[in-house]
Structure 1
Amino acid sequence: MRVALAQMKVVPGMPKRNVENMLSMISEAKNNGVQLIVFPEMCVGGYLLGDKWLDDEYCEYLMSFNEMLRKASEGIAIAYGNIFVDNEINLRNGDKEIHPNKDGRSRKYNAVYVFENGKPAKRKVENKILPEGIQPKLLLPNYRIFDDERYFFSLKDIARDFNVDLKEIVQPFLLNLDGKEEYVGVELCEDLWCEEYRENLNALNITKILIENGAETICNLSSSPWTFGKNKARDKRVLFLKKETGESFVPFFYVNCTGVQNNGKNIVTFDGGSTIYDNNGQPILFAKEAYKQELILFETNQKFENKFRNENTKIAQKYLAIIEGLKYLKDITGAVADPKVVIGLSGGIDSALVASLCVIAFGKQNVFSVNMPTKYNSDKTKSAAKFVADKLGIKYSVVPIQSMAELNEEVLDSADLDGTGKKLSVLNIENVQAKIRGTSLLSNLASKYGAIFTNNGNKLETALGYATLYGDVGGAIAPIADLTKIEVVELAKFLNKEIFQKEVIPNVLLPDKLWRFGEEQIQPSAELKEKQIDPMKFVYHCALLDAVTDYQKKSPSVVMQWFIDGVLHKKLDEYLFPITGENVGLDLMKRWGVTNSEEFLKDLGWFFPLVQKNVFKRVQAPPIIITSKSSYGYDIRESMLPFEKTTKEEELKRFILENIKEYTPRC
């Protein structure tokens, strides 16, 4: 059997464009003698469409493209993902019972469509419950950015509704490929990740059921976002299927989309990673390059050796994700050309990195930089900003705002709302400067030139609220808001060394591994008042934030227990080593003085309440490109709540104060 995996770029909300792409790939497959071509999950309209899935008319519109694809299946078998609104379930089953979705709306399936020679494919054993040539998804993810349970009815739900065993309705399709009959099982994305979905003490393993029912090949159609280590995770899942199925395991074809989608608050990248596995669950052929569309051709009787994946470093993979996310901006608006971008270039490392990334994504001709100094901005930072702009070859403008800040202060001081004659505080005056830069200048300059402006905040600032609402909490997109500060530094080093191969982001902005700066270097500062230095314990707080926001989120009491057990330095290194390549946890604790128990608790008492207190800023922030396993936006779903210590936290605090003066590391 000659198979093609269509690792295609899917553009959400653009079904005409997607189907044109599919038809082109089908034509190419036919020209190469392919008998079966397999496309990704929800490749017609995209996967992350939000509540568009609740719009029956829009779903019917997406389904209208099925006819075009059915006709294209003449002379070939095709499998692809699309929505199916099951309005004829009563007619098929000859009953008068109502069969709605679980929310009372129309029953919808995230489904695989299988056509061959212009007709829906037949199952090995047909049933009246499921429509011809259509297989719904069994496992509906309901975590991170996924909301399948909100919109779709699963294969498991169908079996329960009709009181039948899954094995009765999970059947492979019978395809006649050049005169030879082949039983092909199809499944969707999460169906591969079945180990955690349990029923009657067993995994809900559709792959095993399909093989037991005669499948000679399994095709998994995915819309699976990139995260670091995702390919290894996919390989591990296939090995689990092999273990569950034993010697009867069959070749497994995994096809994933490329491109970028969004949920309104996050920009989500899809890396592809399409892979063919042999009947031992080992990868033998995979896509050549992440994020690239590719038609992968494969003869089932070919002999391949097992392949080893050469993966990029963590920071290199995050770089690719950010560039893909930025390039997606034109797809959000349906534009043909890349956007023009206005960047506030302060002379700090964050804005220098964002400017560099935007030049790589959009070209230097589309990037405009603006430096907006007051009397608090040093010559060093102004020189650093100019250095970056010159090295990138972008337009650079200096717009001083000291007079605007003074005028705003005068006007606001004269407004006596409560009759007390109250004047602006130092913090108020700092925020006025930030708001002038973000709201008065950057947003209006972007509007003037038909451009967008960027949010330059990193993840640590986003978490702690170290930014001004309606000032630097603004912009169309937040390219680095899922990078901690140490990741910002490491990505800057990566760009200088690997991409630019010269100093573009100034070395004076780059600290050593313990966040120490030389005399001539520039420490991070908002420069909103005299001698201001950012208050964070950098690198230490970065690792702490990773622990707090990780997929398996850690509470203050967990961090305190690590301190008590003498393993906090090791836990810090677990988060830092994949980025820095060094174990620096204990040295960091000493550098910031948090080996002292009182200082450690004081810092925790500052850090955690600030994270909770600043939810109100995060919910108003622009969309963030996801680069971690748990990003602010819609990945981490937050409510605006006060901070309150738990009883356990109070007990652990007392224990530390009464029993531990200095941290004792355990090897």
Structure 2
Amino acid sequence: MKIALAQMHVVPMELEKNLQTMLRMIDDAKQQHADVVVFPELCISGYLLSDQWLNRQFCQDLMQYNERLLEASRGITLIYGNICEIPSNEAGGFHPNKDGRSRLYNAAYVMHDGAYAKRPESTEFILPEGIHPKALLPNYRFFDDQRYFFSLVDVAQDFAVPVHTLAQPFVIPTAGGDVKIGVEVCEDLWCKDYRIQGESVNVSKYLIQNGAEMLVNISASPWTFHKNDARDRRLQFLKAEIEQADLQFVPFYYTNNVGAQNNGKNIITFDGDTSAYNHNGQLAANSAKPFRQTLLLVDHEAIHDMRVGRSETDKIAQKYQAIVTGLRHIPELLGWQEDPKFVIGLSGGVDSALVACLLKLAFGAENVWTVNMPTQYNSSKTKDAAAWISKKLGVRHIVVPIQTLVEEQMSVFAQLDASCESPDWMRKLSDENIQAKIRGTSILSNIAGRYGRMFTNNGNKVEIALGYATLYGDVGGVIAPIGDLTKAEVFDMVRYLNRQVFKDEVIPESLLPDDQFRFTEEAIAPSAELRDAQIDPMKFGYHCQLLEACTSFQKVTAEDVMGWYLQGCLAKKLNMDEALIPRWGIDDPGTFMQDLEWFYDGIRKSVFKRIQSPPIVLTSPSAYGFDIRESQLPNYQGEKYQQLKQQVLAMQQYSEQA
């Protein structure tokens, strides 16, 4: 028996396009004599559709595609993901969704030779023929399945039956006799932390208990670094639990989609990693083509002896691929057939330089303009760097001096200042921000509107976190390509592009620091260039790792950081070079405490900017946008915080312990 795993590029809301992709891949599978072809979760519609799932007509339209796929299943077994809507007057009476609407399943469909597949145990009085609902609905990060769908666990509770009785395999006729295939959907693989009566809701175990001879998991599982290793570990967890129940593990086939989808505030990429695992839960076959559509054929009879290793590029290389994939999603997001055109505010600094390179690589030089908008504070170094980068990329470079516009606006406010009171520091800050607002609102947004282009937000994750950006100035645009990269990662990605992608110094080395984030006198240190001798206030490297910790999935608090400082393990816990501690002066407890409060307070105070920011391409396990959900709240410091603070301030000096 041959299994064809379709690692499919799913385009959200392009139902007909996705169907045609499926039909082509089904034909390909048939030509290669596959017995079973497996597609990803919600592959007709896309997965991240937000409240589009509440559009009943859309759901009914989706259901109609099942009939066309039923016809395509002639001569083959077809497994794929789609919604299943159960009107409230069916399913044995009034059984609505939890919101009172018609019941909606995120389901796997199983068809064979033009008919819906059957189960050995009849569950049709509860579940429709040929469909298996997702059992576990994720409700964390940007996942909202519980908002829209009814789960297999919910069904079991509704009908007062044990959930394991509903996890029945499908009986599939083959040339060698009937085969029982257990089918599950995405999160059902990640069952370790879902519990009923103290035990994990292990759908794989239930299916094997009920006679499954092989397992199929259809997924829409987003990319994050080391996600593949995490899946491998989950397979070993499943195997261990199954063997503890005196059962034998069976071959496990995993199909995931590629491409990018979005939730309005994040663009989320899918790398595929479509795989097959043998009887020992070991990786037996893998697509080995991340982010690319492909059909993986596996000989089921030979899988017991199959074993492959993993080959994975480093983190920065993968993040680069994820960002470019996310950018290329923009035409799909808009329903365009042609590539979008961009205009980038190119300051001559490293962030905008990286964005320009990424857009050129994603869409070509012909679709990218760069604009340098100097005032009296912009150095010849940054202006020359902007021109250098644009020339190397082969993009059109425009210089629009804005000093005259700044002076005209300043004269207006000088008259207002005569009759309106404000603190001196506030006026100075406003004077600086006028420059940023002219660049973003008056120049870039108008170039974009006038010449049919989009403009970008060039902020990195540290700037976005601390609010080191001007609302209606550099906080604007249609997308933030590097908004989930720390400054340290920005430097690393620039080095990667120069050395591995361009194999040329496209971005000047003068924009890069040494390994302690120091800049020589000839180099160009990060600066907003809104006043004389301005330097970015962040402690690069240290603040980067601190931000990664406090925005991680299991978030680190200020109390945690103070505890590490008291224990002498700050560098170890933050996974950074301990030489950065004296480099930034935080071996002095007073400086450390002052900086820590500035850092956390800056994040809290900047929520209002982030909720008005453009979508961020997700590259970390926890990104600003909709991954991290924030409210505007007052500061809170509990008793433990105050106790730890006093202990830190009582220290003489910090020393990292071996």
Q: TM-score range by the shorter chain?
A: over 0.9
Partner of 1:637: 629
Please name the residue that 2:655 is paired with.
664
- 1:448 Cα deviation after fit: 1.4
8 Å contact 1:39–1:80 — kept in the other structure? yes
1:107 to 103, 106, 125: 103
Letter in 1 for 2:355: V
Are the structure 2 counterparts of residues 497 and 157 from structure 1 closer, same or farther at C-alpha, using a change threshold of 3 Å? same
Offset, 1:85: 0.8
Quote the Cα distance in structure 2 between the aligned partners of 1:420 and 1:199: 63
- What is aligned with 1:521? 523
Residue equivalent to 2:216: 219
> Within 5 Å, which residues of 2 pair with 1:68-217?
68-87=68-87, 90-93=89-92, 96=93, 98-127=94-123, 128-178=125-175, 180-217=177-214
Deviation at 1:244, TM superposition (A): 1.1
Contact map agreement 2:345 2:372 (CA 8 A) in 1 = yes
Kept in 2: contact 1:35–1:178 (CA 8 A): no
Deviation at 1:605, TM superposition (A): 1.4
Q: CA deviation at 1:245?
A: 1.2
Distance of 1:212 and 1:543 partners within structure 2:
46
Partner of 1:251: 251
Q: What stretches of structure 1 of length at least 5 have no aligned partner?
A: 577-583
Query: Would you say the 8 A contact 1:598–1:661 is kept in 2?
Result: no
Contact 1:416–1:422 (CA under 8 A) maintained in structure 2: no
Offset of residue 282 of structure 1? 0.4
Pairing 1:34–2:38 present: no
Q: Deviations over 1:365-423 (max 9, x none)?
A: 11000000000000011111111111111111110000000001112332469655998
1:14 and 1:29 map into 2 onto residues whose CA distance is 22
Q: Distance in 2 between the 1:400 and 1:194 partners?
A: 58
Q: Which moved more, 1:137-146 or 1:293-302?
A: 293-302
Aligned to 2:411: 410
Match of 2:263 in 1: 263
**Letter of the aligned partner of 2:122 in structure 1?**
E
Q: Give the secondary structure class of the aligned counterpart of 2:579.
A: helix
Given that 1:268 and 1:325 are in contact with CA atoms closer than 8 Å, whether structure 2 keeps it comes out as yes
The offset of 1:179, in angstroms, is 5.7
Query: Which of 514, 524, 534 pairs up with 1:532?
Result: 534
Q: Shift of the alpha carbon at 1:91?
A: 4.2
Taking structure 1 as reference, are residues 270 and 664 closer, same or farther at Cα in structure 2, changes over 3 Å only? Answer: same
Paired residue for 1:231, among 220, 228, 231? 228
In structure 1, what is the Cα distance between the partners aligned to 2:155 and 2:326?
Answer: 37
Name 1:581's counterpart in structure 2. none
Once the two structures are TM-superposed, the CA of residue 664 in structure 1 deviates from its matched residue by 2.3
CA distance in 2, matches of 1:619, 1:178: 58
Q: Distance in 2 between matches of 1:638 and 1:500?
A: 38
Q: Secondary structure at the match of 1:194?
A: coil
The answer to whether the aligner puts 1:314 opposite 2:315 as a matched pair is: yes
Task: Please list, as runs of the form range in 1=range in 2, the aligned pairs for 1:428-447 lying within 5 A after superposition.
Answer: 428-447=430-449
Letter matched to residue 37 of structure 1: V
Cα distance in structure 2, aligned partners of 1:620 and 1:163? 46
Identity %, equivalent residues: 52
The answer for the alignment partner of 1:580 in structure 2 is: none
2:46 equivalent in structure 1: 46
CA distance in 2, matches of 1:227, 1:293: 18
> Secondary structure in 2 aligned to 1:589?
helix
Q: Structure 1 residue 56: deviation in Å?
A: 1.2
TM-score for the superposition, normalised by structure 2: 0.97
CA distance in 1, matches of 2:150, 2:535: 53
For residue 644 of structure 1, report the CA deviation from its aligned partner. 2.3
- Specify which of 609, 612, 617 is matched with residue 625 of structure 1: 617
Q: Secondary structure at the match of 2:180?
A: strand
Instruction: Report how many aligned residue pairs link the two structures.
Output: 652
Q: Which residue of 1 aligns with 2:482?
A: 480
Aligned pairs (5 A) from 1:512-591: 512-573=514-575, 576=576, 584=577, 586-591=578-583
- 1:2 Cα deviation (Å)? 1.1
Following superposition, the deviation at residue 572 of structure 1 comes to 2.2
Corresponding residue to 2:427 among 425, 444, 460: 425
Contact persistence 2:167–2:207 (CA under 8 A): yes
Inter-partner Cα distance in structure 2 for 1:505 and 1:283 = 40
Give 5+ residue unaligned stretches, structure 2: none
Alignment of 1:368-383 (within 5 A): 368-383=369-384
Structure 1 SS opposite 2:506: coil
Distance in 1 (CA, whole Å) between partners of 2:273 and 2:554 is 25
AA matched with 1:473: V
Distance 1:524 1:130, change over 3 A: same
CA contact (8 A) 2:278 2:306 kept: no
1:169-206 superposed Cα distances (whole Å, 9 cap, x missing partner): 11000011236210000000000001111112211000
Q: Deviations over 1:229-261 (max 9, x none)?
A: 011001110111111112511000000000100
The equivalent residue for 2:61 is: 61
Contact 2:87 2:96 in 1 (8 A): no
Q: C-alpha deviations, 1:143-173, integer Å up to 9, x for none?
A: 0010111111100000010000112211000
SS of structure 2 residue aligned to 1:146:
coil
Assess if the C-alpha contact under 8 Å between 1:322 and 1:625 holds in 2.
yes
Q: Could you tell me whether the CA contact under 8 Å between 2:276 and 2:286 is conserved in 1?
A: yes
Matches of 2:59 and 2:161 in 1, distance apart? 28
* Structure 1 residue 509 corresponds to structure 2 residue 511: yes
CA-based RMSD of the aligned residues comes to 1.3
Q: Aligned residue for 2:351?
A: 350
Q: 1:643 to 1:420 in 2, by over 3 A?
A: closer
Letter in 2 for 1:605: E
Tell me which of 601, 605, 613 is aligned to 2:597.
605
Q: Which one-letter code corresponds to 1:432 in the other structure?
A: I
Structure 1, 54-63 or 219-228: larger mean CA deviation:
54-63
Aligned partners of 1:598 and 1:360: how far apart in 2? 46
User: Distance in 1 between the 2:626 and 2:569 partners?
Assistant: 32
User: What's the offset of the Cα at 1:665?
Assistant: 1.5
Q: What CA distance in whole angstroms lies between the structure 1 residues aligned with 2:236 and 2:462?
A: 37
Distance 2:72 2:513 in 1: 58
CA distance in 1, matches of 2:421, 2:347: 37
Query: Could you tell me how far 1:428 is from its partner in structure 2?
Result: 0.4
Q: Distance in 2 between matches of 1:83 and 1:535?
A: 50
Instruction: Quote the offset at 1:288 in angstroms.
Output: 2.4
